[in-house]
Each structure stands twice: as C-alpha cells, then as structure tokens.
Amino acid sequence: MEILNLEGSEDTPKIMLDKKNGIFEISGRSLPEDSAEFYRPVIDWITSYGKDPNPSTEFTLKLEYFNTASSKLILDVLSALEDIKGMKIVWYFHEDDEDMEEAGQEFSELVEIPFEFKTY
C-alpha cells in the first residue's frame, strides 16, 4: 500500500499514513482553503487501509489549531476509522490548551473508537 505523506504548511497539517511502518499521524495547523479537497486523499487512503488493516492501529492527532471547516473533515476522518478493528486514537494537545482538549473530548463522544489523551 502506498504511503501518503503530505508536508505541512502554514495552513495545512502534516499527514503521514504508512501502513508498513505503523505510522498514522495528522499534526500541525488545519485551515486549508478547501478542506474537503485537502482531506479527500486521506479519507480515500483510510478506506483502502480499512480493507486490509494492521492487527492494531494507533492513529495520532496532534493538532495545534483547526478551523470550523476542518473540524467537519476531521470528524469524517474519524468516522472512516470507526469500522477498522483494533483502532485507537491518540489525541495530543498542549497542556495549557483547554480548547484543543475539549475538541478531542467532543470528537471522542461522536465516534465509537477508544481515545487516549496526552499532553506535550
């Protein structure tokens, strides 16, 4: 399976999806001009991965900031992960960033995936 590696920018998160090495991470800032277009390859990759996933998958979200349009797409990403067996989300947030912690808590209530919360 191809690795999906998108370099982050000022407005887009870094995305690394690598089945072979077990790396599944979205990090940085997410405020792309067209969120749906930006996240489409991510959701397509997850859909393909879901057909033959690793026995366990730890998906890391380490976002510093995301806009409203991105929040909908992040939920779409989480929803795509929901049906994959052995899935776990690790939600990182700065220890003094209550908004990002709350956002993670809200996402965790919207999907049926175990969440682990970590500060950095």
Q: What is the pLDDT along the chain (120 residues), one digit of tens a residue?
A: 999 999 999 999 999 999 999 999 999 999 999 999 999 999 999 999 999 999 999 999 999 999 999 999 999 999 999 999 999 999 999 999 999 999 999 999 999 999 999 999
Distance, in Å, from the CA atom of 58 to the CA atom of 71, rounded to the nearest integer, reads 20
User: Can you list the alpha helix ranges (DSSP code H) found in 1-120?
Assistant: 35-51, 68-81, 98-110
Each domain of the chain, given as residue ranges in start order, spans 4-119
Is 4-119 a CATH 3.30.750 domain? Answer: yes
Whole-prediction pTM value? 0.96
Per-residue pLDDT at 99: 97
